[in-house]
């Protein structure tokens, strides 16, 4: 699964042929770059973990406190 997620074929997504995790992964990479996206760690009989890596962006504080 992770190998196919690395490909993130945006044309595949644009044609509407991608669903679910592949679609989300391709969009994350398109928005934030190659080092971001989804990684899946799965072990039979133990469970599956899905990690999503996105950049941290701290909002600037406005002078009026809003």
Q: Which pLDDT does position 47 carry in this prediction?
A: 93
Q: Is residue 64 part of a domain?
A: no
Q: Is residue 33 part of a domain?
A: yes
- How many domains does the chain fold into? 1
Q: Is residue 62 part of a domain?
A: no
How far is it, in rounded angstroms, from Cα 40 to Cα 59?
29
Tokens 């989300």 correspond to 24
Q: Which pLDDT does position 24 carry in this prediction?
A: 87
Residue 32 burial by Cβ neighbours in a 10 Å radius (0-12, 13-18, 19+):
middle
Query: Domain span at residue 22?
Result: 2-53
- Does the pTM of the predicted model rise above 0.75? no
Q: Which pLDDT does position 22 carry in this prediction?
A: 82
Q: Is residue 61 part of a domain?
A: no
Q: What is the DSSP letter of 54?
A: -
Spell out the per-residue pLDDT of the chain, length 66, in tens: 666 666 556 666 666 666 788 888 888 988 999 899 999 898 999 999 999 999 998 877 777 655
């Amino acid at each position: 699964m992770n190998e196919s997620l690395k490909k993130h074929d945006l044309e595949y997504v644009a044609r509407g042929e991608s669903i679910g995790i592949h679609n989300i992964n391709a969009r994350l990479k398109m928005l934030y770059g190659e080092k971001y996206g989804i990684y899946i760690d799965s072990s039979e009989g133990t469970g599956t973990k899905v990690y999503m890596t996105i950049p941290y962006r701290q909002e600037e504080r406005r002078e009026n406190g809003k």
